[in-house]
Amino acid sequence: METFVNKRSCTDNPLTRSQRKKIKLENNERIKQEEDAEEDEDEASTEFSHPVHWQKIEAEGLDCDYALLFSKKEADHFFKLLEEEVVYSTGEEAKVQVFGKVYNIPRKQATYGDAGLTYTYSGVTRSACPWTPTLEYIQDAVTKTTGQTFNFVLINRYKDGQDHMGEHRDDEKELDPLCPIASVSLGAARDFIFRHRDARGKQSCRQIEPVKLELAPGSLLLMNQPTNTYWYHSLPVRKKVLQPRINLTFRRILLNCKKMS
C-alpha cells in the first residue's frame, strides 16, 4: 500500500503560510475571549463581599450595631450616583402633619421599594418608587452584611447642617418588628442622638443619659428591637456642617400592609 507523506517545507509552501495566518487569527481570538472572560470576572468581583467590624451600642432598652460598610471613596461614589438617580418628593408627600397641622419638612425625602408598597408616617402616606441600580446595590450590600432582607428604603437628603430631623420613633404598624432598621449614611458626617422616652422634656420622670453618635460617611447603623419602643432618635441642626448628606433607612414593610389596587 502506498503511503502518502507530505514533505513540503515550512517556508516555501503558500498553504502553510495561510494555515499559520489562520492559527494566528484563532490565537488572537482566543486571547481576546480570555481577556473578556477576565473582565467579566473582575466585574463580578465588584459585588459587595467584604466583612465589616461591628461595634455594639447598648443601653437600657437600646440595642444597636454600628460598622463602616463602605470606604469614604465608595461612599462618595454612591453619593454622586444617588444625586443623579433619586427623585425627591414634592407636594403633599414632602410635608408632615403634627397634631393636625401641616409643615414642610426641613430636608428632602424620597421612598423606594418593592412594587405596591406604601409607608405612612407623620400623617402622610408615601408610595415606593421602583428600586434604582445604586439603591439595589446598597440594599444587597446591607443584606449580605446583616443577613436581613428589606423591601423598602426611606431616603433623607440634608443640604447642609441646617436641615435636620426632629425626635421620633420608627414604630409604625407597617414595619416588621422582627427586622432591624438599617441606616446607611453618605456625605457629611452628622451627629445622631437617642433619647429615652422617660427622659424627654422638662417633666421627664427619669434621668437617663442620651446616647450620642456621629454617623460617618459609609457607616451602617442597625437599630434592633426593642430600641424603637423605648428610644426616640433625632438628627439635630449643626450649623457648622456645610456639606450635604444622604441617609438611607432600609426597612421591611409587612406585606399585608401592601396597597390594595
Positions touching ligand AKG (CB under 6 A) are 154, 156, 165, 170, 183, 192, 215, 233, 235, 247, 249
171 is in an annotated binding site: yes
Nearer to ligand AKG (CB atom), residue 126 or residue 134: 126
CB 198 within 8 A of CB 205: yes
Rounded CA separation 15/21 (Å): 10
Nearer to ligand AKG (CB atom), residue 57 or residue 215: 215
251 is in an annotated binding site: yes
Least distance in angstroms from the C-beta of 158 to ligand AKG:
7
End-to-end CA distance of the chain: 86
Least distance in angstroms from the C-beta of 209 to ligand AKG:
20
Question: What is residue 244's three-state secondary structure?
Answer: coil
The one-letter amino acid code at 167 reads: E
Nearer to ligand AKG (CB atom), residue 81 or residue 216: 216
Least distance in angstroms from the C-beta of 251 to ligand AKG:
9
- The neighbour count for residue 154, using CB atoms within 10 Å, is 21
Nearer to ligand AKG (CB atom), residue 175 or residue 208: 175
Q: How many residues does the chain have?
A: 261
Read off φ and ψ for residue 52, nearest 5 degrees: -120, 160
**Cell reading at 200:** 424627654
Rounded to 5°, angle at Cα 80 from 76 and 82: 115
168 is in an annotated binding site: yes
DSSP letter for 175, please. Answer: B
212 is in an annotated binding site: no
Least distance in angstroms from the C-beta of 171 to ligand AKG:
10
100 is in an annotated binding site: yes
DSSP letter for 260, please. Answer: P
Nearer to ligand AKG (CB atom), residue 145 or residue 227: 227
Alpha helices in 62-166 (DSSP H): 72-85, 133-146
Least distance in angstroms from the C-beta of 121 to ligand AKG:
8
119 is in an annotated binding site: yes
Which segments are annotated as binding site for 2-oxoglutarate? 156, 158, 168, 171, 233, 245, 249, 251
Which segments are annotated as binding site for substrate? 99-101, 119-121
